[in-house]
Structure 1
Amino acid sequence: MAPRYQPSRECHVVVLGAAQFVHNQWIESYDPTIEDSYRTQVTVDGRQIMLEILDTAGTEQFVAMRDLYMKTGQGFLLVFSITSPSSLTELSMLRDEIIRVKDDENVPIVIVGNKADLEDQRAVSRSKAFTLSQRWNAPYYEASARTRTNVDEVFIDLCRQMLRRDDLDQSNSIDDDDNIASSASSHRRSRRRRKEGGHKCIIL
C-alpha cells in the first residue's frame, strides 16, 4: 500500500532579539522574497513543512512593524548574544509583547543563545539562560549562525511545537463538532420520545 501523502504545511517563524540570526551562509538554498525574509522546505518527523522565516533581530527598521509581525507569526525565536547580558534582558520585554499581541500565554517559543563560537567572550552563563527557559517553559539552545551550530535544530524544535499546537487545535475543533452533532441528535431523540409518549385523547 502506497504511503499516504501529507500535504506541505506552512509555518511562519519570526526571529526577534538583539543578534541577527539568519545569515546568507546558512540560507544558501533559500529564495529571498524580501530582505531578511526567507522560505525553505524542511522535514519534521516525516512531515513536509514550508518554513517562512522573518528575521527582524538586530534590525531597527522592523521595530515600528513589530506588532504586525507578532500577529502574523505562529512561532518565535528569541535570540540573544552570549556575549551581551543586555541582549538577554531584552527578551523579557519581547516575550511580554508577544503574549500581549497574541493574547496567549502558550505561544511556541525557542530561546537561542547566539554566538556560541565566541565562548572566550561569554558574558551570559548557561545556567542563567537555562533558568529563564525553565520559567518560560521554552526550550533553550546555544547556537552559532556563523558555524551553523544548532541552527537547524532550533527551527525544527519550533516547527515541532507549532505542529503539535495545530494538531491539538484541529482535534479540539473535531471534538466540538462531534459534541454539537451529538447534542443535536440527542435533542431530536428527546423530541421523538415526547411525541410518542404524549397524552392521547380518547373519544367515547
Structure 2
Amino acid sequence: MADLVYEYSVVVLGAGGVGKSALVVRYAQGQFLSDYNPTIEEQYRCDVQLEGKNCVLDIMDTAGAEQFTALNEVYIKRARGFVLVFSLTQENTLQDIDNIRQQIQMIKGQEANIPIVVVGTKMDLAREREVTRDTIKELASKWGLPFYETSAKNNWHVTDVFHDLLDQMRRRYPDEPLKRRKQKKKTLKGPKHRCIIM
C-alpha cells in the first residue's frame, strides 16, 4: 500500500545567535542545544500528521542574516513557508526580521499570502528580555503575521510554530503535488513527528 504525502519546504531565517538551530533541533529531534555553534546549513525532514493528513516538512536551517548570500535567495525562491526568528533578549534582532520579511516579499514578487510565522526565542530568560509584548502586538498587527514566543530549552510553543506554518501552507497551496510513499512497518509509540537530519 502507499500513502499520499504532502511535502512542503520551509526555510528558517534570522540573525546569528538568536536560536534558530535550537528551535529547529527541539522540534525535529526533541533535544535542546545548549552550545552555540554557527550554522552554515542544516536540513531536516520531518514526518508530521496533521488533521489526518500525512505531511513532510523539509526544514532548512540557515546561516545568520548578517551572512545573507545568494544561496539564501535560492532557498527563498524554492521555499513554501518561512520561520523568521528573533531573540526576545535582543531588540535589535527585530530589524533583521523586518529586512528578511521585505526580502522575501521582493523575491516572491506578487505572490499573496506567503506562509510566514515570526518567532521570538529565549522566552525563559525573562530577566534579560528586551522586546515587550506591546511591541510584538504592534508588529503582528502592522505586518499581518502570527507571532510566537518560544523557549527551545523548556519546549514552550515550539510545536505550535511549525504546525501553524504547516496549516498556512496547506491552505495556501491546496493543489501541491502529492507524492506516494510505500507503507513502512508501524513503529513503536513515540513523538507525533519523526525527523531526519541531512
Contact 2:19 2:87 in 1 (8 A): no
Unaligned runs of 5+ in 1: 171-204
Tell me: CA distance 1:60–1:90, structure 2 relative to 1, closer, same or farther (3 Å): closer
Tell me: CA distance 1:87–1:59, structure 2 relative to 1, closer, same or farther (3 Å): closer
Cα-to-partner distance string for 1:14-53 (whole Å, 9 max, x where unaligned): 01112232334543279xxx95110010112221110110
Once residues 65 and 154 of structure 2 are traced to their aligned partners in structure 1, the CA distance between those partners, rounded to angstroms, is 21
Once residues 22 and 46 of structure 1 are traced to their aligned partners in structure 2, the CA distance between those partners, rounded to angstroms, is 28
3-state SS, counterpart of residue 29 of structure 2:
coil
Which has the higher Rg, Structure 1 or Structure 2? 1
3-state SS, counterpart of residue 92 of structure 2:
helix
Residue 47 of structure 2 corresponds to 41
Once residues 21 and 48 of structure 2 are traced to their aligned partners in structure 1, the CA distance between those partners, rounded to angstroms, is 15
3-state SS, counterpart of residue 135 of structure 2:
helix
Residue 9 of structure 2 corresponds to 12
Once residues 126 and 141 of structure 2 are traced to their aligned partners in structure 1, the CA distance between those partners, rounded to angstroms, is 23
> Is structure 2 residue 152 aligned with structure 1 residue 152?
no
Residue 83 of structure 1 corresponds to 89
1:40-189 pair list within 5 angstroms: 40-56=46-62, 58=64, 63-103=69-109, 104-167=111-174
CA RMSD of aligned residues (A): 2.3
Q: Give the TM-score normalised by structure 2.
A: 0.74
Question: How many pairs align?
Answer: 162
Unaligned runs of 5+ in 2: 32-39, 177-198
Once residues 89 and 59 of structure 1 are traced to their aligned partners in structure 2, the CA distance between those partners, rounded to angstroms, is 10
1:105 CA drift (Å): 4.3
Tell me: CA distance 1:49–1:106, structure 2 relative to 1, closer, same or farther (3 Å): same
Higher strand share: 2
3-state SS, counterpart of residue 43 of structure 1:
strand
1:166 CA drift (Å): 1.4
Q: Structure 1 vs Structure 2: percent identity of aligned residues?
A: 40
Cα-to-partner distance string for 1:34-91 (whole Å, 9 max, x where unaligned): 9511001011222111011011153765634111010011000111000111101111
Once residues 26 and 171 of structure 2 are traced to their aligned partners in structure 1, the CA distance between those partners, rounded to angstroms, is 30
Higher helix share: 1
